[in-house]
A = this chain, B = another copy of it.
Amino acid sequence: MHERGSVGLVRPEDIDFPGAFALDCGRSLPGFRLRIERYGQLNAQRSNAVLICHALSGDHHAAGYHSESDRKPGWWEACIGPGKPIDTDRFHVVSLNNLGGCSGSSGPCTPGPDGQTAWGPDFPIVTVRDWVRSQDRLREHLGIERWAAVIGGSLGGMQALQWAIDLPERVAHAVAIAAAPRLSTQNIAFNEVARQAILTDPDYCEGHYAREGKRPARGLALARMLGHITYLSDAAMADKFGRELISGAPGYSFEPEFQVESYLRYQGSQFIDKFDALTYLRMTKALDYFDPARDYGGNLVDALKRVEARLLLLAFSRDWRFSPARSEEIVRAALRAGRDVSYACIDSPLGHDDFLVPVPEYTRIFGAYMLRVAEECA
């Protein structure tokens, strides 16, 4: 048995969307597949559905377990389940693997136009706007007129924001957690180093590594290690790993000597077995390109004037990847646009990673807000 408050055993579903699907890059997909999961009952009015959007390395498996022996729950188990902020006793929760992903939805690892050979590097570079449009096809397919809420953290929060701007009548609430209105130059710089790690790995083979029976594991591991540095604050890293030498004295070798070195190597080595490098490249590009103001002459206020949803922004005090100041940019622009927006900066221990963790003040605020959402759509 898995713990109380969990949705328990869940099963992914694949949904195929036939017909050409035009992308921002100018290319089209000849139809696409989305892998999704659903938790909680859809009510008779079909009004209690919420969409969960995932972050850079996330997927459709947001909560619960895939088998009795499964030891690791979905990535947002902290926030989704009976009695949790996204309460599956009240909501019908829909989560998906995004286009370009590597967990079952159409992407570099799935069959390309010939129906057999994997897309590989020929899979287009997709954008947050593309994702929103593909997710809207999913909404339509599921017979949902309007999401009670679109919710996400980090890159997921950016999708929630884009939803509220692009399809205002389809979103009652947009919840963007630990997000930003667009990346900072430094954020782009980190993404670029991560991409270069992958692109320059000799086993990348110009993206045709699968065909060559290889994979750019070294580059992907480096990209992940670098990512992890930005998921924790300096102070959190110090709290968590200290900086004492494990053996008490220098070993004068390049073996791990500080705990944080072992942690990073472990994170890198774990990641390469569960994630694909071509997807990683595409996720970082979607992040870099994300800039909803761009369609409105660079003016975020004008972009947000389109929004009909009520907005909840949450940020974490120690987050330096997308700091509270970045969420506050969205809040100020939303207020200037005359939108209904709530915001809280949560005092929290880790940094960016806190959006995945049951920080008490976070779940209290998030839960209370979602309770109002549930009451509205009951």
Is A161 close to B, CB under 8 A? no
**Contact segment of A84-92, A131-139, A252-260:** A252-260
A8-16, A40-48, A53-61, A193-201: which lies at the interface? A193-201
Q: How far is the CB of A292 from chain B (nearest CB, A)?
A: 13
- Supposing A184-B243, A243-B183 touch, asked if A250 and B196 sit within 8 A by C-beta, the answer is no
Chain B CB within 8 A of A338 CB: no
Indicate whether A189 sits within 8 Å of B124 (C-beta atoms), given known contacts A200-B218, A250-B25: no
What residues on B are CB-neighbors of A69 within 8 Å? none
Q: Name the residue on B nearest A125 (C-beta).
A: B252
Which segment of A140-148, A222-230, A361-369 sits at the interface? A222-230
Whether, in the assembled complex, A261 has its beta carbon less than 8 Å from a beta carbon of chain B, the answer is: yes
* Structural contact, A250 and B186, CB atoms closer than 8 A: no
Q: Which residues does chain B contribute within 8 Å of A226, judged by CB atoms?
A: 193, 226
Residues of B within 8 A of A289 (CB): 250
Which residue from chain B places its CB closest to the CB of A248 in the assembled complex? B294
Contacts of A243 in B (CB 8 A): 182-185, 188
Q: A202 in the interface, Cβ–Cβ < 8 Å?
A: yes
Known contacts A188-B261, A193-B222, A260-B189; A24 and B250 CB within 8 A of each other: yes
Query: Do B196 and A124 touch (CB < 8 A)?
Result: no
| A190 close to B (CB within 8 Å) | yes
Which listed residue (B127, B197, B268, B281) contacts A254, Cβ 8 A?
B281
Shortest Cβ distance from residue A69 to the other chain B in the assembled complex, whole angstroms: 33
Contacting pair A185 B258 (CB below 8 A): yes
- The answer to whether the Cβ of A347 comes within 8 Å of any Cβ in the partner chain is no
CA distance A125 to B251 in the complex (A): 10
Closest to A26 in B: B252
Residue of A124, A125, A195 most packed against chain B (CB within 10 A): A125
Q: Name the contact of A186 in the complex, choosing from B185, B237, B254, B256 (C-beta under 8 A).
A: B237
- B225 contacts A196, C-beta separation under 8 Å: yes
Q: Measured between alpha carbons, how far is A351 from B277 in the docked complex, in Å?
A: 32
| A308: Cβ under 8 A from any B Cβ | no
Known A-B contacts A199-B254, A229-B193; the reply to A260 vs B218 at CB < 8 A is no
| CB of A111, distance to nearest CB on chain B (Å) | 22
User: Is B265 a contact partner of A196 (Cβ separation < 8 A)?
Assistant: yes
Q: How far is the CB of A254 from chain B (nearest CB, A)?
A: 6
A234 at the interface (CB under 8 A from B): yes
Give the interface centre of A238, A252, A268 by most chain B CB atoms within 10 Å: A252
Q: What are 21 A-B residue pairs whose CB atoms fall within 8 Å in the complex?
A: A25-B250, A125-B252, A184-B238, A184-B243, A185-B241, A185-B242, A185-B258, A186-B229, A186-B237, A188-B260, A189-B264, A192-B264, A193-B229, A196-B221, A196-B264, A196-B265, A197-B197, A197-B222, A199-B254, A202-B202, A254-B285
